[in-house]
Protein backbone atom coordinates (compact mmCIF):
# COMPACT_ATOMS: atom_id res chain seq x y z
CA UNK A 1 0.00 0.00 0.00
CA UNK A 2 3.03 2.34 0.08
CA UNK A 3 3.12 4.79 -2.83
CA UNK A 4 6.84 4.32 -3.48
CA UNK A 5 9.49 1.59 -3.28
CA UNK A 6 13.17 2.25 -2.55
CA UNK A 7 16.05 -0.12 -3.16
CA UNK A 8 19.30 0.19 -1.22
CA UNK A 9 22.58 -1.51 -2.14
CA UNK A 10 24.08 -2.93 1.05
CA UNK A 11 26.53 -5.51 -0.36
CA UNK A 12 29.65 -6.64 1.49
CA UNK A 13 33.03 -5.53 0.16
CA UNK A 14 34.70 -8.95 0.39
CA UNK A 15 31.98 -11.50 -0.30
CA UNK A 16 29.84 -12.35 -3.31
CA UNK A 17 26.94 -13.37 -1.05
CA UNK A 18 26.50 -10.82 1.76
CA UNK A 19 25.59 -11.45 5.39
CA UNK A 20 23.38 -9.42 7.70
CA UNK A 21 26.27 -8.06 9.78
CA UNK A 22 27.99 -6.20 6.97
CA UNK A 23 24.74 -5.20 5.28
CA UNK A 24 23.13 -3.82 8.44
CA UNK A 25 26.37 -1.97 9.10
CA UNK A 26 25.90 -0.30 5.70
CA UNK A 27 22.37 0.71 6.67
CA UNK A 28 23.46 1.92 10.11
CA UNK A 29 26.58 3.85 9.05
CA UNK A 30 26.26 4.57 5.33
CA UNK A 31 29.58 2.77 4.77
CA UNK A 32 29.83 -0.62 3.08
CA UNK A 33 32.08 -3.08 4.85
CA UNK A 34 33.14 -6.72 5.15
CA UNK A 35 30.99 -9.74 5.92
CA UNK A 36 30.79 -10.71 9.58
CA UNK A 37 31.71 -7.34 11.11
CA UNK A 38 29.54 -4.73 12.82
CA UNK A 39 29.81 -0.99 12.15
CA UNK A 40 33.54 -0.84 11.47
CA UNK A 41 35.38 0.21 8.32
CA UNK A 42 36.28 -2.27 5.59
CA UNK A 43 40.00 -1.89 6.31
CA UNK A 44 39.72 -4.17 9.35
CA UNK A 45 39.59 -7.87 8.59
CA UNK A 46 37.17 -10.15 10.38
CA UNK A 47 38.30 -11.06 13.92
CA UNK A 48 41.10 -8.45 13.86
CA UNK A 49 40.39 -6.61 17.11
CA UNK A 50 43.23 -4.08 16.90
CA UNK A 51 42.25 -2.95 13.40
CA UNK A 52 38.58 -2.81 14.36
CA UNK A 53 39.24 -0.53 17.33
CA UNK A 54 40.97 1.87 14.95
CA UNK A 55 38.09 2.02 12.44
CA UNK A 56 34.72 2.44 14.20
CA UNK A 57 31.98 3.89 12.01
CA UNK A 58 29.46 6.23 13.64
CA UNK A 59 25.91 4.84 13.44
CA UNK A 60 22.57 6.54 12.93
CA UNK A 61 21.50 5.41 16.40
CA UNK A 62 24.60 6.87 18.02
CA UNK A 63 24.12 10.16 16.18
CA UNK A 64 20.46 10.29 17.18
CA UNK A 65 21.20 9.53 20.84
CA UNK A 66 23.89 12.21 20.95
CA UNK A 67 21.48 14.71 19.39
CA UNK A 68 18.91 14.14 22.13
CA UNK A 69 16.59 11.93 20.14
CA UNK A 70 15.11 8.71 21.49
CA UNK A 71 16.46 5.45 20.08
CA UNK A 72 14.99 2.00 19.98
CA UNK A 73 15.54 -1.53 18.70
CA UNK A 74 12.87 -4.20 18.32
CA UNK A 75 13.70 -7.65 16.97
CA UNK A 76 12.53 -11.26 17.16
CA UNK A 77 16.16 -12.44 17.26
CA UNK A 78 18.65 -12.10 20.09
CA UNK A 79 19.20 -8.37 20.57
CA UNK A 80 22.93 -9.06 20.22
CA UNK A 81 22.41 -10.62 16.79
CA UNK A 82 23.90 -9.00 13.68
CA UNK A 83 21.12 -6.60 12.71
CA UNK A 84 20.28 -5.14 16.14
CA UNK A 85 23.93 -5.32 17.21
CA UNK A 86 25.06 -2.97 14.45
CA UNK A 87 23.11 -0.06 15.98
CA UNK A 88 25.40 0.56 18.98
CA UNK A 89 28.17 -2.07 18.77
CA UNK A 90 31.46 -2.03 16.85
CA UNK A 91 33.21 -5.36 16.46
CA UNK A 92 35.21 -7.40 13.93
CA UNK A 93 33.21 -10.54 14.74
CA UNK A 94 29.41 -10.75 14.79
CA UNK A 95 29.55 -13.89 16.96
CA UNK A 96 31.18 -12.13 19.92
CA UNK A 97 27.75 -11.72 21.52
CA UNK A 98 28.97 -12.43 25.08
CA UNK A 99 32.36 -12.46 26.75
CA UNK A 100 32.81 -16.25 26.48
CA UNK A 101 32.90 -15.95 22.68
CA UNK A 102 35.86 -13.53 22.63
CA UNK A 103 39.29 -14.89 21.78
CA UNK A 104 42.15 -14.38 24.23
CA UNK A 105 43.84 -12.13 21.67
CA UNK A 106 40.70 -10.00 21.35
CA UNK A 107 40.45 -9.56 25.12
CA UNK A 108 44.10 -8.59 25.37
CA UNK A 109 43.68 -6.07 22.55
CA UNK A 110 40.75 -4.43 24.36
CA UNK A 111 37.68 -5.68 22.49
CA UNK A 112 34.48 -6.25 24.46
CA UNK A 113 31.42 -8.28 23.57
CA UNK A 114 28.28 -6.99 21.84
CA UNK A 115 25.96 -7.32 24.87
CA UNK A 116 28.28 -5.25 27.00
CA UNK A 117 28.66 -2.64 24.25
CA UNK A 118 24.88 -2.26 24.05
CA UNK A 119 24.75 -1.52 27.77
CA UNK A 120 28.00 0.46 28.11
CA UNK A 121 27.74 2.69 25.03
CA UNK A 122 29.33 6.11 25.50
CA UNK A 123 26.72 7.81 23.30
CA UNK A 124 24.30 9.61 25.64
CA UNK A 125 22.18 6.98 27.36
CA UNK A 126 22.22 4.50 24.52
CA UNK A 127 18.92 2.92 23.58
CA UNK A 128 15.70 3.97 25.31
CA UNK A 129 13.88 0.83 24.22
CA UNK A 130 15.46 -2.56 23.49
CA UNK A 131 13.21 -5.57 22.92
CA UNK A 132 13.86 -9.06 21.64
CA UNK A 133 15.49 -12.28 22.78
CA UNK A 134 18.95 -13.29 23.97
CA UNK A 135 18.92 -12.66 27.71
CA UNK A 136 21.51 -15.42 28.23
CA UNK A 137 24.16 -13.05 26.84
CA UNK A 138 23.36 -10.52 29.58
CA UNK A 139 23.38 -13.00 32.49
CA UNK A 140 26.32 -14.59 34.36
CA UNK A 141 26.62 -18.39 34.47
CA UNK A 142 25.76 -18.22 38.18
CA UNK A 143 22.29 -16.87 37.38
CA UNK A 144 19.40 -19.19 36.50
CA UNK A 145 17.01 -18.16 33.76
CA UNK A 146 13.71 -16.84 35.14
CA UNK A 147 11.62 -18.87 32.67
CA UNK A 148 13.49 -22.16 32.20
CA UNK A 149 14.91 -24.03 35.18
CA UNK A 150 17.44 -25.89 33.03
CA UNK A 151 19.06 -22.77 31.56
CA UNK A 152 21.61 -20.31 32.98
CA UNK A 153 23.44 -17.27 31.71
CA UNK A 154 26.52 -17.52 29.50
CA UNK A 155 28.74 -14.77 30.90
CA UNK A 156 31.96 -15.89 32.59
CA UNK A 157 32.99 -12.37 33.67
CA UNK A 158 30.38 -12.44 36.45
CA UNK A 159 28.63 -9.31 35.13
CA UNK A 160 24.87 -9.02 35.37
CA UNK A 161 24.27 -6.65 32.47
CA UNK A 162 20.56 -6.30 33.23
CA UNK A 163 21.47 -4.97 36.68
CA UNK A 164 24.11 -2.72 35.13
CA UNK A 165 21.57 -1.36 32.64
CA UNK A 166 19.25 -0.56 35.55
CA UNK A 167 22.07 1.35 37.23
CA UNK A 168 22.58 3.37 34.04
CA UNK A 169 18.81 4.02 33.79
CA UNK A 170 17.37 4.67 37.27
CA UNK A 171 13.66 3.93 37.14
CA UNK A 172 14.10 1.87 33.97
CA UNK A 173 11.89 -1.19 33.51
CA UNK A 174 13.10 -4.70 32.73
CA UNK A 175 10.58 -7.26 31.41
CA UNK A 176 10.92 -10.88 30.31
CA UNK A 177 7.30 -11.79 29.54
CA UNK A 178 4.17 -10.28 28.01
CA UNK A 179 2.47 -9.50 31.31
CA UNK A 180 5.47 -7.50 32.53
CA UNK A 181 5.59 -5.60 29.24
CA UNK A 182 1.89 -4.76 29.49
CA UNK A 183 2.42 -3.49 33.05
CA UNK A 184 5.55 -1.46 32.25
CA UNK A 185 5.37 2.32 32.63
CA UNK A 186 5.47 4.12 29.28
CA UNK A 187 7.52 7.05 30.59
CA UNK A 188 10.56 4.96 31.56
CA UNK A 189 13.39 3.34 29.56
CA UNK A 190 12.58 -0.27 28.69
CA UNK A 191 14.73 -3.39 28.36
CA UNK A 192 12.70 -6.48 27.46
CA UNK A 193 14.36 -9.84 26.80
CA UNK A 194 11.71 -12.49 26.20
CA UNK A 195 13.84 -15.60 25.59
CA UNK A 196 17.33 -16.87 26.49
CA UNK A 197 17.92 -17.25 22.74
CA UNK A 198 15.87 -16.03 19.76
CA UNK A 199 12.19 -15.37 20.36
CA UNK A 200 9.68 -18.03 19.37
CA UNK A 201 8.41 -18.22 15.82
CA UNK A 202 5.02 -16.55 15.51
CA UNK A 203 3.44 -19.96 14.87
CA UNK A 204 4.89 -21.33 18.13
CA UNK A 205 4.48 -18.16 20.21
CA UNK A 206 1.04 -19.05 21.69
CA UNK A 207 2.61 -22.12 23.33
CA UNK A 208 5.30 -20.13 25.12
CA UNK A 209 4.86 -20.83 28.85
CA UNK A 210 5.54 -17.26 30.03
CA UNK A 211 3.93 -15.45 27.10
CA UNK A 212 5.66 -13.45 24.37
CA UNK A 213 4.36 -10.37 22.55
CA UNK A 214 3.95 -10.25 18.78
CA UNK A 215 6.25 -8.12 16.67
CA UNK A 216 3.36 -5.69 16.15
CA UNK A 217 2.76 -5.44 19.89
CA UNK A 218 6.44 -4.73 20.50
CA UNK A 219 6.38 -2.10 17.76
CA UNK A 220 3.41 -0.34 19.33
CA UNK A 221 5.01 -0.50 22.78
CA UNK A 222 8.24 0.98 21.42
CA UNK A 223 6.62 3.85 19.53
CA UNK A 224 4.40 4.68 22.51
CA UNK A 225 7.54 5.26 24.55
CA UNK A 226 9.87 6.76 21.96
CA UNK A 227 7.31 9.23 20.61
CA UNK A 228 7.25 10.97 23.99
CA UNK A 229 10.59 12.57 23.06
CA UNK A 230 9.95 15.96 21.48
CA UNK A 231 13.17 15.73 19.46
CA UNK A 232 11.96 12.65 17.61
CA UNK A 233 13.22 9.09 17.54
CA UNK A 234 14.97 6.43 15.47
CA UNK A 235 13.58 2.89 15.72
CA UNK A 236 14.73 -0.36 14.13
CA UNK A 237 12.08 -3.08 13.80
CA UNK A 238 13.36 -6.43 12.55
CA UNK A 239 11.38 -9.54 11.71
CA UNK A 240 14.54 -11.54 12.02
CA UNK A 241 13.09 -15.03 12.14
CA UNK A 242 11.88 -14.87 8.53
CA UNK A 243 15.53 -15.49 7.64
CA UNK A 244 15.88 -18.31 10.16
CA UNK A 245 12.86 -20.14 8.76
CA UNK A 246 14.42 -19.96 5.30
CA UNK A 247 17.67 -21.40 6.71
CA UNK A 248 15.67 -24.39 7.92
CA UNK A 249 13.73 -24.69 4.67
CA UNK A 250 10.50 -24.07 6.59
CA UNK A 251 8.28 -22.27 4.08
CA UNK A 252 5.25 -22.08 6.39
CA UNK A 253 7.07 -20.28 9.17
CA UNK A 254 8.92 -18.03 6.73
CA UNK A 255 5.59 -16.85 5.28
CA UNK A 256 3.96 -16.66 8.73
CA UNK A 257 6.83 -14.51 10.02
CA UNK A 258 6.46 -12.27 6.95
CA UNK A 259 2.78 -11.72 7.79
CA UNK A 260 3.85 -10.79 11.33
CA UNK A 261 6.31 -8.27 9.86
CA UNK A 262 3.55 -6.82 7.70
CA UNK A 263 1.37 -6.49 10.81
CA UNK A 264 4.23 -4.63 12.51
CA UNK A 265 4.52 -2.20 9.57
CA UNK A 266 0.78 -1.59 9.79
CA UNK A 267 1.07 -1.01 13.54
CA UNK A 268 3.87 1.53 12.97
CA UNK A 269 1.77 3.39 10.39
CA UNK A 270 -1.17 3.54 12.75
CA UNK A 271 1.04 4.78 15.62
CA UNK A 272 2.70 7.58 13.64
CA UNK A 273 1.67 10.52 11.49
CA UNK A 274 2.27 10.71 7.75
CA UNK A 275 3.31 14.33 8.35
**Catalytic residue numbers, as ranges:** 20
**Cα 155 from chain centre:** 18
Determine phi and psi for 76, rounding to 5 degrees. -95, 0
**Cα 222 from chain centre:** 13
Of 58, 76, 29, 87, the C-alpha closest to 235 is: 87
Do residues 33 and 92 touch, judged by C-beta distance below 8 A? Answer: no
Q: Could you tell me the strand order of the sheet in which 173-175 lies?
A: 173-175, 190-193, 129-133, 70-78, 233-238
Do residues 177 and 194 touch, judged by C-beta distance below 8 A? Answer: yes
Do residues 12 and 44 touch, judged by C-beta distance below 8 A? Answer: no
User: Using N-to-C axis directions, what is the helix angle for 251-271 and 215-226, rounded to 10°?
Assistant: 30
Strand locations in the chain, DSSP E? 70-78, 129-133, 173-175, 190-193, 233-238
d(CA 91, CA 36): 9
Determine phi and psi for 240, rounding to 5 degrees. -75, -15
Amino acid sequence: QFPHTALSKTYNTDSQTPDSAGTMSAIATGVKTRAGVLSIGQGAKRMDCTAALATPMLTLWELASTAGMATGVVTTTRVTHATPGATFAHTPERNWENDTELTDAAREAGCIDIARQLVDTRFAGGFDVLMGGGRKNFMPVSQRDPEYDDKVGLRLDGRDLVAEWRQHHPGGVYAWNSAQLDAAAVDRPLLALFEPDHMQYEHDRPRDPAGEPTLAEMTRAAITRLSRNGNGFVLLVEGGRIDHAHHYGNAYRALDETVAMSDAVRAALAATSAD
